[in-house]
């Protein structure tokens, strides 16, 4: 890591003088920030610029989760503002807009395509990680969570207040609440309780004019749009007020592998038929992945079944023996534990790992990776699965899929209830994921993922082929950094938002008619051409 930082710093030093020439209104932007913030909440130590190479780079890299984007574009990145107060957020919005500088908003850094911290036109990163307060009110079963808080911090805080309350969000503890919730984040409670946006009851957002709005002052149209339409097209999400949900003190989890040689394809086919019809308190994720075979040098596919049940192991065994006996679940496969401990199980931490690990914030990126997504409406035939397995075995690096079951409450919430549209009619959602270690293999890895996606096409949703906004994928359509072509936006927008795109574009035209809040996959105002 030190060696990588040294190389990046060297690149930065070479680029600073050139970058300074290409950055318009930079001095005016900084002056504006200082004039719009008070001595009580000074902004100076929240501003990082390329002139201070070490702190600038470490600030950029610390919330850059995909190694594909660890080298910032020094020609265009003017500053990073690590806001510590709402006035810093307001000033950054107003000053960026008035000086013609693009704004990118980052809460946890998990944007799969780096759109929250990359741009090819002059821009500023507004980093929200310091704004991370969480307050839990057990009596009303509600909580306020700021955008920069991680899911791990939120889960820990909820558990400190109550052992029988939870929030139905994702399994990655380092994801920031701002982006995760606004994109319609999901997790293993979705069949019982739906997704994040189904439990948002209020929000604070800084609009294009720098005004701090809540649900009452923003109005129901904007409140609807930021629940699943992503916050970044409409303003800066400062905080969410969420309903908490009830969970039993003891829950049950299991993880069981079935390789192809053990009949994994047959078990997964049966899973497709039953996973959406199981009690909504039971969530079983299927995760096909490449593993070593029984013979040296041989590879095969193992389907790993991860399950979470809101109840005791004996009851779960009864359900599984009736509905999916092919899995061969044994009582000793089941582990009973608290809801907080299930979050460690889903993150693949070893048994006995202290829950304090949920509070860790990594300061450096993980691997290079690429993800894609699909929704499936009818079971994939076994011959289709075999084509997927053959493609996976061609990868030279790590590759896996996650098949996440729908059904339950997801079938009962209307597609228009929130901006997140993917509801009734889906059997499951697929995430495709590959990681690699060598930057020189990036292009080959991306091409392999595109081939994988193409092989899956006959078996997934079509017209449009749907995609999950939080699994950002530039391949489904994108605009250049500083432009928004409506026709192109409709291509990716129809995949992410389906029939809700039209209303999202109308809301955008009402609240940000000049299209200040934009990125390569943002929602355009209805009347912009």
CB contact set of 38 (below 8 Å; sequence gap of 6+): 87
| Mean pLDDT, rounded, for 39-55 | 87
Q: How far apart are CA 289 and CA 295, in angstroms?
A: 17
Using one digit for the tens of pLDDT, what is the confidence trace for 117-147? 999 999 999 999 999 999 999 999 999 999 9
pLDDT digits (tens, 9 = 90+) for 16-29: 333 333 456 789 99
Evaluate if residue 82 carries a pLDDT over 50.
yes
Q: Are 213 and 207 in contact (CB under 8 A)?
A: yes
Examine the pLDDT at 50 and tell me if it is beyond 90: no
Say which range, 14-23, 253-262, 384-393, has the weakest mean pLDDT: 14-23
CA distances to 18, 60, 293, 367, 529 from 55, in Å:
20, 8, 46, 22, 40
3 state SS for 55-73 = HHHHHHHHCCCCHHHCCCC
Q: Is 396 exposed, middle or buried (0-12, 13-18, 19+ CB in 10 A)?
A: exposed
Which residues are annotated as catalytic?
Answer: 471
pLDDT above 70: residue 517:
yes
Look at residue 24 in the predicted model and tell me its pLDDT. 61
Indicate whether 490 pLDDT > 80: yes
Q: Taking 70 as the threshold, does the pLDDT of residue 527 lie above it?
A: no
Residues contacting 520, CB < 8 A, separation 6+: 113, 115, 474, 478, 479, 480, 481
Cα separation, 246 vs 163, whole angstroms:
9
Closest by Cα among 482, 473, 475 to 519: 482
Mean pLDDT of 423-432: 98
pLDDT value for 529: 45
Residue 364: pLDDT band with limits 50, 70, 90: confident
How large is the angle between the packed helices 53-62 and 2-22, nearest 10 degrees? 110
Q: Quote the mean pLDDT of the chain.
A: 93
Higher-confidence residue: 361 or 52? 361
Neighbour-count burial of 126, counting CB atoms closer than 10 A to its CB (0-12 exposed, 13-18 middle, 19+ buried): buried
Higher pLDDT, 436 or 529: 436
d(CA 82, CA 56): 11
521 close to 492: Cβ distance less than 8 angstroms:
yes
Confidence of residue 314 (pLDDT cuts 50, 70, 90): very high
Helix (H, G, I), strand (E, B) or coil at 312: coil
Measured distance CA(300)–CA(31) in Å, rounded: 60
58 contact partners, CB below 8 Å, separation of at least 6: 5, 363
Reference 310, options 405, 193, 412, 424; nearest CA is 193
Side by side, the strands of the sheet bearing 134-137 are 134-137, 142-146, 236-243, 200-206, 212-213
Minimum mean pLDDT among 3-7, 383-387, 418-422: which range? Answer: 3-7
Report the phi/psi class of residue 194: left, alpha or beta, with left for phi > 0 and alpha for psi in -120 to 50.
left
CA–CA dist 55, 364 (Å, integer): 14
Instruction: Give tens-digit pLDDT for 275-300.
Output: 999 999 999 999 999 999 888 889 99
- Position 348 scores a pLDDT of 92
Give me 512's structure tokens. Answer: 């940000």
User: CB-based contacts of 47: which residues, under 8 Å, 6+ apart?
Assistant: 30, 33, 79, 80, 81
Binned at pLDDT 50, 70 and 90, residue 1 comes out as very low
Lowest mean pLDDT among 36-40, 81-85, 260-264, 294-298: 294-298
Mean pLDDT of 65-94: 94
Residue pair 104/519 in contact (Cβ under 8 Å)? The answer is yes
**pLDDT tens-place string over residues 315-339:** 999 999 999 999 999 999 999 999 9
SS3 for 443?
helix
Distance CA 210, CA 213 (A): 9
For the stretch 187-218, pLDDT in tens is: 999 999 999 999 999 999 999 999 999 999 99
pLDDT for the residue 23 = 57
Digit-coded pLDDT (tens) for 149-174: 999 999 999 999 999 999 999 999 99
What is the model's pTM? 0.94
Q: Name the phi and psi angles at 94, rounded to 5.
A: -60, -45
pLDDT for 76 equals 92
- On the question of pLDDT at 494 being above 80, the answer is yes
> CA–CA separation, 123 vs 131, rounded Å?
21
């Amino acid at each position: 890591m030190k060696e990588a930082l040294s190389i990046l710093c060297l690149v930065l030093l070479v680029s600073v003088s050139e970058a300074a020439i290409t950055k318009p209104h930079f001095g005016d932007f900084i002056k504006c920030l200082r004039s719009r913030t008070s001595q009580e909440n000074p902004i100076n130590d929240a501003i990082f610029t390329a002139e201070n190479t070490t702190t600038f780079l470490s600030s950029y890299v610390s919330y850059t989760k995909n190694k594909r984007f660890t080298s910032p574009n020094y020609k265009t990145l003017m500053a990073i503002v690590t806001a510590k107060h709402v006035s810093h957020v307001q000033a950054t919005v107003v000053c960026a807009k008035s000086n013609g500088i693009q704004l990118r908003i980052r809460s946890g850094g998990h944007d799969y395509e780096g759109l929250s911290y990359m741009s090819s036109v002059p821009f500023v990163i507004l980093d929200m990680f310091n704004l991370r307060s969480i307050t839990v009110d057990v009596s009303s079963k509600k909580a306020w969570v700021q955008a920069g808080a991680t899911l791990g911090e939120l889960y820990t805080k909820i558990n400190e207040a109550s052992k029988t309350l939870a929030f139905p969000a994702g399994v990655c503890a380092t994801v920031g609440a701002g982006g995760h919730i606004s994109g319609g984040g999901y997790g293993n409670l979705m069949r019982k309780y739906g997704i994040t946006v189904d439990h948002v009851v209020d929000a604070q957002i800084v609009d294009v004019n720098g005004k701090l709005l809540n649900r009452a002052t923003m109005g129901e149209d904007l409140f609807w749009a930021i629940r699943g339409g992503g916050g970044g097209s409409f303003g800066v999400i400062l905080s969410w007020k969420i309903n908490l949900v009830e969970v039993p003190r003891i829950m049950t989890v299991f993880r069981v592998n079935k390789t192809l040689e053990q009949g994994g394809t047959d078990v997964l086919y049966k899973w497709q038929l039953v996973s959406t019809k199981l009690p909504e308190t039971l969530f079983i994720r299927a995760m096909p992945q490449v593993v070593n075979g029984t013979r040296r040098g041989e590879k095969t596919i193992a389907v790993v079944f991860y399950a979470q049940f809101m109840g005791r192991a004996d009851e779960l065994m009864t359900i599984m023996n009736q509905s999916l006996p092919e899995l061969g679940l044994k009582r000793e496969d089941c582990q009973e534990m608290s809801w907080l401990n299930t979050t460690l199980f889903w993150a693949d931490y070893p048994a006995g790992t202290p829950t304090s690990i949920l509070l860790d914030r990594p300061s450096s990126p993980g691997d290079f990776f690429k993800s894609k997504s699909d929704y499936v409406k009818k079971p994939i035939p076994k011959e289709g699965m075999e084509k997927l397995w053959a493609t996976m075995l061609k990868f030279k690096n790590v590759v896996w899929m996650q098949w996440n079951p729908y059904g339950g409450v997801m079938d009962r919430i209307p597609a228009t209830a929130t901006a997140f549209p993917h509801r009734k009619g889906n059997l499951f959602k697929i995430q495709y994921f590959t990681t690699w270690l060598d930057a020189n293999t990036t292009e080959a890895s991306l091409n392999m993922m595109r081939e994988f996606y193409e092989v899956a096409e006959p078996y997934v949703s079509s017209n449009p082929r749907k995609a999950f906004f939080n699994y950002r994928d530039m391949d489904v359509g994108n605009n250049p950094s500083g432009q928004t072509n409506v026709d192109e936006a409709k291509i990716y927008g129809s995949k992410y938002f389906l029939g809700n795109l039209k209303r999202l574009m109308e809301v955008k035209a009402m609240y940000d008619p000049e299209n200040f809040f934009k990125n390569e996959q943002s929602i355009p105002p209805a009347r912009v051409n």
